[in-house]
Amino acid sequence: MKTYKMVLCYDGSRYNGWQKQGNTDNTLQEKLEKILTEIAGVETEIAGSGRTDAGTHAKGQVASFRMDWKRTAAELLTEINGRLPEDVGALSLEEAEPRFHARLNAKAKRYVYTIWTGEMPPVFWRKYSFWCKDELDVEAMKEAASAFVGTHDFKSFCANKRMKKSTVRTIYDINIEQKEQRLVLSFTGNGFLYQMVRILTGTLIEVGEGKRSPMEMEEILAAENREAAGFTAPSRGLMLDEVFYEPYGKGTEMP
């Protein structure tokens, strides 16, 4: 039995998110387990580095699985890509340490949120961005974002109100950059709570629109209450960009 680490990209538009669930169909995890089970001939499970919501995309989701495979990892990669639908691609596959687990061993993740700021409709970006028609004060958004960098209790930014585990997370960096008609927000942190990136983005958009002041961010964090934060930006603008398995700042692949 070998353990594999696989990097995946997918257009999440037509999926009910990553995670297999009792009552919903058409999840990415399900789709992949079906393919791996076909290849292996025995029931095979896959673990993602984390869930992505319905409609959310990935350029670098990482998943781990175990398989009794006699040929090379490159051949297994070809085998998997040959069975994947065209909106999912396996980018790389390698044999990992026997105990490697995509979620448990992840040290950091980067998510990218794309806001369409063009005046005209985002015809080619309609599934990959959230169209914000109001003009945004990007400098105010940057100032507000700086309040989130560091180690904080992000309970106000967690959509799961019954979360019993710790809601403390560390954000290493938030980068906000205008690229043509898109305002691109990159969040790098040691982990993110349920819908945390989307709520952070929604709150920053409200700052950009002048509905909130950058000064309020400290209060929102202190409130430890979801009601204190802004709206949840739509899932289609969100992309899981990269998952890191080295401590932040230690590896060569760090941002």
Please give the Cα distance from 88 to 90 (Å, whole number): 7
User: Was 111 annotated as part of a binding site?
Assistant: yes
Report how far residue 215's alpha carbon sits from residue 144's, in angstroms, rounded to the nearest whole number: 7
Q: Helix, strand, or coil here: 124?
A: helix
Residue 124 or 162 having the CB closest to its own copies: 124
What is the distance between the alpha carbons of residues 48 and 21, in angstroms, rounded to a whole number?
14
Nearest approach in angstroms of CB 108 to its own copies is 23
Q: What is the greatest pairwise CA distance in the chain?
A: 59
Q: How far is the CB of 180 from its own copies (least distance, A)?
A: 13
Shortest reach from residue 226's CB to its own copies, in Å: 30
> Please, what is the minimum distance in Å from the beta carbon of residue 78 to its own copies?
11
Question: Could you tell me what percentage of the chain is helix, strand and coil, using 3-state DSSP and rounding each to the nearest 5?
Answer: 25, 30, 45
Q: Which residues contact 95 (CB under 8 A, 6 or more apart)?
A: 2, 3, 4, 5, 73
Question: Between residues 40 and 77, which has the closer beta carbon with respect to its own copies?
Answer: 77
- What is the C-alpha separation between 220 and 44, in angstroms, rounded? 43
Name the residues that contact its own copies, by CB under 8 A. 9-11, 57, 81, 84, 86-91, 120-124, 126, 128
Judge contact between 173 and 255, C-beta under 8 A. Answer: yes
Residue 87 known to be catalytic: no
Active-site annotation holder among 53, 68, 87, 241:
53
Binding site per annotation, positions: 111
* Residues that are catalytic: 53
Residue list for the binding site for substrate? 111
